[in-house]
Amino acid sequence: MAGSDALYGLGLDTTKIETMYYYMVLSRALDERMWILNRQGKSAFVISCQGQEGAQVGVASALDPTVDWVAPYYRDLGVVLYFGMTPREIMLGQMAKAEDPSSGGRQMPAHYGHKKRHVLTGSSPVATQVAHAAGMALAFKIRSEAAVVMTSLGEGSTNQGEFHEALNFAAVHRLPLIVVVENNGFAISVPQSKEMVVADVAAKASGYGMPGIVVRGSDPLGVHQATSEARNRALKGEGPTLIEIKTYRYTPHSSDDDDRSYKTREQLQAEKDDDAIVLFRQWMLDQKMWDDEREKALNQRVRNEVDDATDYAEAAPYPDPATLWEHVYHS
Amino acid sequence: MAVMTYLEAIRETLRQELRRDDRIIVYGEDVGVRGGVFRVTEGLQAEFGEQRVIDSPLAEAAIIGTAIGAAVNGLRPVPEIQFSDFIFPAINQIVQEAARIRYRSNGTFGVPMVIRAPFGGGVHGALYHSQSVEAFFAHVPGLKVVIPSTPYDAKGLLAAAIQDEDPVLYFEHKAAYRSLKGDVPDERYLIPIGKADLKRPGKHVSIITYGLMVSYALKAAETLDKEGISVEILDLRSIRPLDVEAILDTAKKTGKVLMVHEDNLTGGIGGEVSALIAEHALFYLDAPIVRLAGPDVPAMPYSPPLEHAFMVTPEKITEAARKLAKF
């Protein structure tokens, strides 16, 4: 596995490695369950993390959820799980139930937000969160707090003005910000070649005088290392970093899309041959830190958690219609 | 107590607030070293430093977007948009984000932020330095919109806006900056957002208005007083939320309502106020409601005769109120 040599020197012990693997597997399993619920007519909308788990867990594992904040985008299931959102909390949002901590069932699924877990509420207009993350980082800088903000978005969203405005603002003020672009090659149906001329989104960083790093999502340890270095730079007052992660989207854009019209099945198979989860597991086996028995136990644990989350969310009540009027303003 | 201009009242309130609460930051284009293109923030960076009075890059969406992030993360940002005409690049951040964050997070997150923006015409500002944009924002639940009409109100409304837990747009009329003067107490005081102010009691006609137009309406009322027409003037102060009770009270009292604003007629605040009166006080009326507003042309032209033709003036208000009184 590419990047495996980087393990030594990253300061990662076996427990951390296993934790990263667990969150990748959990993200995938939860996501797969969402699609089943959708096809059963129990959940109106799904937007997936599948294919991007290595990128997401690689980033999140290099952050400190006790002090750092994330302003994720809608595919970042792996990030928010790593930051402490539980499978039950995820499924409550997926089923639009009152107890959903992100929005009380007000937003579409995957619009995560969780104050206690340092996850900023997100919206559907893309790239707005990059400016929010820069503002949060500004507050950390003004208060001289040792914390960073990580925000993420897709490569298509890097065409939005707010992405560029926020990068420039963060660079001018040398803010403790990490901007992660999860480049899965498509903005819904539009391939990167029609989204931008540059081959690497990371090249856009040079216009703002900040480092632009390219890593592969199938190499979670490489992602971890790049994020860790960006975090150190941010904490030293050296400003923001743009990290582009080359990754894949194994599903259509959402449950309302059909990717067969713009992605060949051959391409999809080639992408799946570079699946971070499969490669990471093989690497753990090669390193003799994993075996079939542990794999089986992990899968059972994840299966139980997904079942529990599904059952819990299905049984949970919907919001009372009378709450429609709540929280328009502070009360 | 001191006599101040409208502009000085805003500046001294910012100074007092910055001294009171170190979570407050002021930023925008040219607000630091230059003290703002209108000098509203003059001297603030010298007193409070570059960390709290920040010259930002020229990018409105970034100014408001970062202010939202700073507010969520514990600061009390007071960003300035240099001219309200330039607020539109930030409308995505204001409407989709600031206004909706509390609602969409089920009350978990809030955005205590005050966006200051000079607005209004009659200052040779042409199409893009004269606009009144308040109605766009007054349409949006989750936002509050205040427009002070005097130096006294400028202070009390700004302090209240900064204290508020929700995003507030604070529009300052450019022609009011130096033309309006008045007593402003030294101590901090708050004017509640959502409460109108009865500026002048009267019997025959109610003028409902806000901002610079309040002083124009007062001039009109003096003229008409000599003709035996008694004009009541209600200053809305806040256009979202509206003080529905005060609006209905004055409509019921005089039975004749003249709504005045510089913003374009169609879709302006006058339409909303008129609808409220029609719904709740129709049978108290003795005449149709009249709206005197900026004409429905895209913006204010530069050439003096054209600009004058656009502007709502004391003379136009006098004429409209006289006609209504005689209905």
pLDDT in tens, B13-54: 999 999 999 999 999 999 999 999 999 999 999 999 999 999
The stretch A268-296 carries a mean pLDDT of: 97
Tell me whether B149 touches chain A (CB under 8 Å): no
Instruction: State the pairing for strand pair B2-5/B24-28.
Output: unpaired
The per-residue pLDDT for range B213-227, each reduced to its tens digit, is 999 999 999 999 999
Q: What percent of chain B is predicted at pLDDT more than 70?
A: 100
Which residues, numbered 109 to 138 in chain A, qualify as contacts with chain B under a Cβ-Cβ cut-off of 8 Å? 111, 113-115, 120-121, 123, 125, 128, 130-138
pLDDT score recorded for residue A7: 55
Would you say domain B2-184 falls under CATH 1.10.10.10? Answer: no
> Which residues have a Cβ under 8 Å from the Cβ of A266 and sit 6 or more positions away?
none
Query: pLDDT of A227-250, one tens digit each?
Result: 999 999 999 999 999 999 999 999
User: What is the pLDDT at residue A9?
Assistant: 64
Domain boundaries, chain A: 4-264+285-316
Closest CA to A219 of A181, A288, A154, A275: A275
- CA distance, residue A106 to nearest chain B CA (Å): 6
Shortest distance, CA A139 to any CA of chain B (angstroms): 5
**Could you write out the DSSP letters of every residue in B253-291?**
HHS-EEEEEEEESTTSHHHHHHHHHHHHHGGG-SS--EE
**Cβ pair A162:B66 closer than 8 A:** no
Q: What is the mean pLDDT of chain A?
A: 96
Hey, are the CB atoms on A123 and B93 less than 8 Å from each other?
A: no
Distance from CA of A288 to the nearest CA of B (A): 44
Q: Which residue matches tokens 């570079």?
A: A274
pLDDT at A6 (0 to 100): 47
CATH 3.40.50.970 fits A4-264+285-316, yes or no: yes
Chain A residue nearest residue B59, CA to CA: A165
Distance from CA of B218 to the nearest CA of A (A): 34
Among residues of chain A, what percentage have pLDDT more than 70? 97
| pLDDT digit string, tens, across residues B83-142 | 999 999 999 999 999 999 999 999 999 999 999 999 999 999 999 999 999 999 999 999
Q: Kindly determine whether residue A123 and residue B25, on different chains, have CB atoms separated by under 8 Å.
A: no
Contact indicator for A28, A53 with CB cutoff of 8 Å? yes
Nearest to A125 among B64, B77, B96 (CB): B96
| A123 → closest Cβ in B71, B96, B102 | B96
Q: Is the peptide bond before B201 cis (omega within 30 degrees of 0)?
A: no
Q: Is the CB of A106 inside 8 Å of chain B's CB atoms?
A: yes
pLDDT digits (tens, 9 = 90+) for B85-100: 999 999 999 999 999 9
pLDDT of A5 over the 60 cut: no
Q: Is the pLDDT of residue B195 over 90?
A: yes
Which of chain A's residues have a Cβ under 8 Å away from the Cβ of B53? none
3-state SS, residue B293 = strand
Indicate which of A97, A102, A112, A132 best probes the interface with B, i.e. most B CBs within 10 Å of its own CB: A132
Has residue A126 got a pLDDT over 60?
Answer: yes
Closest CA to A96 of A251, A323, A253: A323
Whether the predicted interface score ipTM is above 0.90: yes
Establish, for the pair of chains A and B, how many residue pairs have beta carbons separated by less than 8 Å.
140
Q: Is B226 on the interface with A (CB under 8 A)?
A: no
Beta bridge partners of A190: A187
Residue B167 has pLDDT above 80, yes or no: yes
Predicted confidence at residue B186, as pLDDT, reads: 97
Residues A168-226 pLDDT 10s: 999 999 999 999 999 999 999 999 999 999 999 999 999 999 999 999 999 999 999 99
The two structure tokens encoding residue A204: 């856009």
User: Using a CB-CB distance cutoff of 8 angstroms, which residues of chain B are in contact with residue A123?
Assistant: 96-97, 100, 104
pLDDT at A303: 98
**Side chain identity at A145, as an amino acid letter?**
E
H/E segment holding residue A233 = helix A220-235
> CA B93 to CA A166: how far, in whole Å?
12
Token pair for A107: 């937003």
Instruction: Tell me what the pLDDT averaged over chain B comes to.
Output: 98
What is the assigned CATH class of domain B197-325?
A: alpha beta
- Check A131 against B164: CB less than 8 A apart: no
Q: How confident is the model at residue A10 (pLDDT cuts 50, 70, 90)?
A: confident
What would the mean pLDDT of A98-113 be, rounded to a whole number? 98
Q: Judge if B2-184 and B197-325 fold alike in CATH terms.
A: yes
Q: What percent of chain A has pLDDT over 90?
A: 96
Distance CA A254, CA A56 (A): 18
Residues of B marked as catalytic: 129
Return the HEC string of B43-112: CHHHHHCCCCEEECCCCHHHHHHHHHHHHHCCCEEEEECCCHHHCHHHHHHHHHHHCCHHHHCCCCCCCC
Please say whether the beta carbons of A20 and A63 come within 8 A.
no
**Nearest-neighbour CA in chain B from A143: distance (Å):** 9
Cβ contact (<8 Å) for A329 and B57? no
Residue carrying the six token digits 């032209």: B301
For the segment A42-61, the average pLDDT, to the nearest whole number, is 97
Question: Considering only alpha carbons, which residue of chain B is nearest residue A163?
Answer: B62
pLDDT tens readout for residues B59-89: 999 999 999 999 999 999 999 999 999 999 9
Residue A2: its pLDDT value, please?
44
Q: Contact B72/A137, CB-based, under 8 Å?
A: no
What integer is the mean pLDDT of A110-133?
98
Answer yes or no: are the C-beta atoms of A181 and A129 closer than 8 Å.
no
Q: Do A132 and B68 touch (CB under 8 A)?
A: yes
**pLDDT at position A1:** 43
As a whole number of angstroms, the distance between CA A21 and CA A30 comes to 14
The mean per-residue pLDDT over the stretch A319-325 comes to 97
> What residue spans define the domains of chain B?
2-184, 197-325
- Judged by CB atoms closer than 8 Å, whether chains meet at B93 and A137 is answered as no
